[in-house]
Every structure is written in structure tokens, then in C-alpha cells.
């Protein structure tokens, strides 16, 4: 059964790759609040740890280190209250929050809520593409294209200095790096050199130190007869690496 029109409009769309955005319909929730406040960092934290319940002490140590216990707890409660108010402005105080669940000192992002998340879609598309390679190469190319289009940069790049995000950043970057050569190889094999070149050129600024990407880009240029450009890129890549 498909989602009703109302439930689709109410779906929370969350973008984390290259930039952080949260919107419902045409409304950016970050624009209606202070995008740099701790409530959004708490949201990112719970989102990154989705599927797990996190102890309040761990959250307080992460965001309010140095605060005494009571002050840290009050700061956490205030943060959660503000976050819920932004995520669900129509919710009455008697209704359960759909996205941020609290129970017995544990906090978690509700993975059963009505939302779409770019990194979940990235993983799904890459898995489907890998499964389709042997049976339908054109379908695999289509799926890889969609996956690569989602990757606009590092996961939660605004939080690059936060320790709690590093593992997730490495994980999603690895998925992208594995999908990229697979897609390029399929396009080269299919003779779609111009498209392969475009994808490689878009990827190079995102992954400038990925040697395999430089090699494939040079290969594409040579196959197109762009010998001079291939030499220039080889020299610049050699200097960079």
C-alpha cells in the first residue's frame, strides 16, 4: 500500500552528504530555527547512532563536558524540548514525539518514523546496483548513477572535528569510493565515455587523493583521444599524490 498524500507531505527529508538540510515539503526546518544550535547537533548525533539507544550520561559528556550533573541534565532536557518543537510544531504536549524517543534515561532516533535519509538511500542503491551487475548492466549503471548523485561531499561535513562523527564519515566515504570505480568500469565497458568522464570530473574534487580515480580518468581521456589532456592530468596527479 502506498503512502497517502498527507503522509508523503509530512515526511521528514534529511540530507547529510556535503551539506546538512532538514525539510518537510518545501519548508526548511533549519531556516525556521538556529541551524548552529546544540539541538541540531543532538539531532545529528542521534541520527548517526540511529538504531541504538544512547545513555543520557554519554550525551552529556559529549555536549556538556565540564558542566555539573544538574546543569548538564537541564541543558539536555532544554535541547530535546527545542528539537521536538522544531521537528513537530503541531504536536501537543500530550502526544509522543515521533522522531526523538526518550525512556529511562535513554535517547534514540526513531527509525520507524516517517522520514527519508540520503545515506540510507545511498546504501540501498549501491547494494541493488552490485546485485544487478551480473544480470542487468544497464540497470546497475542507472542505480550507481543515482547513488553517486546523492554523494555531494563528506557526511556531516560541518562536524568534521567532532569525534562521534568520524566513523560514519569513513563508512559512507568507503561506500562511495567502492561504487565509483564500479560505475566507471560499467560505463567504459558500455562505451559511454563522455558520461564516465563527467562522473570522474565531478568526483575528483571530492576524492582528490584517490589514486584509482586518477588512473581511470586518464584511461577515459586516452580512450577519447585526449592525449595532451591525459598527460597534463598525469603530471598534476603525480604532483598531488
The pLDDT value recorded for residue 2 is: 40
User: Beta strand pairing status for 21-24 and 12-15?
Assistant: antiparallel
pLDDT digits (tens, 9 = 90+) for 180-200: 999 999 999 999 999 999 999
* Block residue for cell numbers 563508512: 171
Q: How far apart are CA 9 and CA 117, in angstroms?
A: 15
Long-range pairs, 74-79, Cβ under 8 A, ≥24: 75/38, 76/42, 79/38, 79/39, 79/42
pLDDT digits (tens, 9 = 90+) for 221-240: 999 999 999 999 999 999 98
Task: Specify whether the CB–CB gap between 197 and 213 falls below 8 A.
Answer: no
Q: How far apart are CA 184 and CA 144, in angstroms?
A: 9
Q: Is the pLDDT of residue 91 over 90?
A: no
pLDDT digits (tens, 9 = 90+) for 33-81: 665 578 999 999 999 999 999 999 999 999 998 888 889 999 999 999 8
* Block residue for cell numbers 528539537: 83
Set of cell numbers at residue 69: 550533573
Instruction: Grade residue 7 by pLDDT with cuts at 50, 70 and 90.
Output: very low
- The mean per-residue pLDDT over the stretch 78-105 comes to 82
Q: How far apart are CA 232 and CA 221, in angstroms?
A: 11
Task: Specify whether the CB–CB gap between 122 and 17 falls below 8 A.
Answer: yes
The whole-model pTM stands at 0.88
Sign of CA dihedral 162, 167, 170, 173: negative
Burial class (CB in 10 A: 0-12, 13-18, 19+), 158: middle
Instruction: Grade residue 94 by pLDDT with cuts at 50, 70 and 90.
Output: very low
Q: How far apart are CA 156 and CA 153, in angstroms?
A: 9
pLDDT digits (tens, 9 = 90+) for 120-176: 999 999 999 999 999 999 999 999 999 999 999 999 999 989 999 999 999 999 999
Side-chain-side CA neighbours of 12 within 13 Å: the count stands at 24
Amino acid at each position: 500500500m502506498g503512502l497517502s498524500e498527507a503522509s508523503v507531505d509530512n515526511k521528514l527529508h534529511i540530507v547529510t552528504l556535503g551539506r546538512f538540510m532538514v525539510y518537510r515539503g518545501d519548508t526548511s526546518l533549519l531556516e525556521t530555527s538556529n541551524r548552529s544550535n546544540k539541538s541540531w547537533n543532538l539531532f545529528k548525533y542521534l541520527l548517526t547512532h540511529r538504531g541504538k539507544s544512547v545513555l543520557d550520561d554519554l550525551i552529556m559528556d559529549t555536549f556538556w563536558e565540564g558542566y555539573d550533573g544538574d546543569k548538564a541534565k537541564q541543558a539536555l532536557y532544554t535541547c530535546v524540548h527545542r528539537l521536538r518543537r522544531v521537528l513537530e510544531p503541531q504536536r501537543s504536549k500530550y502526544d509522543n514525539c515521533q522522531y526523538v524517543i526518550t525512556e529511562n534515561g535513554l535517547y534514540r532516533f526513531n527509525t520507524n518514523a516517517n522520514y527519508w535519509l540520503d545515506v540510507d538511500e545511498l546504501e540501498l542503491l549501491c547494494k541493488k546496483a552490485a546485485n544487478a551487475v551480473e544480470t542487468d548492466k544497464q540497470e546497475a549503471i542507472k542505480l550507481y548513477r543515482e547513488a553517486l548523485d546523492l554523494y555531494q561531499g563528506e557526511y556531516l561535513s560541518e562536524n568534521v572535528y567532532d569525534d562521534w562523527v568520524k566513523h560514519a564519515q569513513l563508512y559512507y566515504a568507503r561506500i562511495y569510493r567502492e561504487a565509483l570505480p564500479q560505475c566507471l568500469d560499467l560505463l567504459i565497458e558500455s562505451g559511454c565515455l563522455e558520461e564516465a568522464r563527467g562522473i570522474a570530473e565531478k568526483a575528483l574534487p571530492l576524492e582528490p587523493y584517490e589514486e584509482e580515480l586518477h588512473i581511470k580518468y586518464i584511461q577515459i581521456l586516452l580512450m577519447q583521444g585526449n592525449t595532451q589532456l591525459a598527460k597534463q592530468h598525469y603530471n598534476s596527479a603525480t604532483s598531488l599524490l
